[in-house]
Structure 1
Amino acid sequence: MTAWSANSGWRVRGRRTGAFGLPVGPLPEAARTELRHRGVRGTATVLGVRPRRGEPGHVFWVRVAIEGEQSYEVRIRQWVSDTDLHWMSPGDVVGCRVDPGDRERLVLFVPDPAESGRVGQARILSDGRRAEATVLSATPVAADYAGRDDPVLRLDLELIAWDEPKPWCVRLVTPVPLAAIGAVDLGARLQVGFFEVDRGASVAVDWAASLDEG
């Protein structure tokens, strides 16, 4: 029995405005509270974010992953604090709770450090160690066909750091600035930040430094 079927006896109620790729409308406070307590736990990779026009809050374009289920993309409208917004930039992975009766109804949140499997991209680049990455493959994952967000690619990279004894490979799903599309060809070199030798959870590409060296 999957998480969806196990929790199918309830459904968060609230206004829905999303259809055909449009952002799902913000949930009422009561619905968000219920969802935080009873929704199916997952993670969401932030693919794009921008302020709502003339209204409080932001539109988030995220790729949602739930254990045992196929990942999917959705745009939602949600208000978050300025502190949380700092950790919800493109490429960051945050927590989410999903309505089992409607996978496009979800609430995003920044998990506590102890339960988060990913470090914020900004923090990696400001506080992390440095390495050089060689592009092994670059595969498109998603793109905003309205032309307002950067394309999202799956990058397989081989990293080399002066203070590590051997190279290691990582896989990232990350937005790539349009100006950097030519920098992710097979064999291209990128500058990255990292905290640990892992599969990519603590790795971020420094696009500014990579373009300067290119």
Structure 2
Amino acid sequence: MFHDRIVRTVLAITAGYVIVLAVWLGWLIQYTEEGTAPYQVGGLLAAYGATLGLGMMWANRPTHADRKLLKRGMEGWATVESAQRLAETPDHGQLTALKLRLVVPGEESYTGRVVYEVAEEDRERFAPGATVTIRVDPKNRDRIILCP
């Protein structure tokens, strides 16, 4: 997951909401019809919640470079040689250093190391000896992405 991007997005949307709320309270509230202020506050809160949800969905997307690599990278596979747990992540996954034997058809196999967040339900998928699908950047064989 992209926790730092999500936090930045939440902070930016909250700051924007505080600005909108300040403008509404300081200037626009005097022009509202009598008795509609609670509904307007409800509308502002609903807009904040919707914007926050959409922003978090957007922030959780893979980066443009990762999406491009998933779409256009050369397909290959990797055999997990070792998996060393480094730390637990906030969403109960494990940050894991994977040592991989990488194979791309038409090229020599090579080894690589990648740090990857392994979800609790995917631990067997990344156990030593397991094979996972990868995409490799054709211009830089050291840039790989593990396919979901």
Q: TM-score range, shorter-chain basis?
A: 0.5 to 0.7
1:156 aligns with 2:99: yes
**Which residue of 1 is the match for residue 145 of structure 2?**
204
Gaps of 5+ in 1: 1-45, 59-81, 93-118, 208-214
Residue 187 of structure 1 aligns to a residue whose secondary structure is coil
Tell me the distance in 1 between the aligned counterparts of 2:114 and 2:141. Answer: 8
Q: 1:136 aligns with which of 81, 102, 118?
A: 81
TM-score under structure 2 length normalisation: 0.55
Gaps of 5+ in 2: 15-54
Tell me the distance in 2 between the aligned counterparts of 1:56 and 1:149. Answer: 26
Q: 1:181 to 1:167 in 2, by over 3 A?
A: same
Q: CA deviation at 1:179?
A: 2.3
Tell me the distance in 1 between the aligned counterparts of 2:13 and 2:118. Answer: 24
- Which structure has the greater CA radius of gyration? 2
Tell me the distance in 2 between the aligned counterparts of 1:87 and 1:51. Answer: 7
User: What is the aligned-residue identity percentage?
Assistant: 18
Tell me the distance in 2 between the aligned counterparts of 1:123 and 1:87. Answer: 16
Tell me the distance in 1 between the aligned counterparts of 2:141 and 2:74. Answer: 15
Q: CA deviation at 1:47?
A: 6.2
TM-score under structure 1 length normalisation: 0.40
Structure that is richer in helix per residue: 2
| CA displacement 1:12-69 (0-9 Å, x = unmatched) | xxxxxxxxxxxxxxxxxxxxxxxxxxxxxxxxxx8634635974369xxxxxxxxxxx
Q: 1:170 aligns with which of 99, 112, 122?
A: 112
Tell me the distance in 2 between the aligned counterparts of 1:141 and 1:120. Answer: 25
Aligned residue-pair number: 105
Q: CA deviation at 1:184?
A: 1.1
Tell me the distance in 2 between the aligned counterparts of 1:120 and 1:148. Answer: 24
Q: CA deviation at 1:178?
A: 2.6
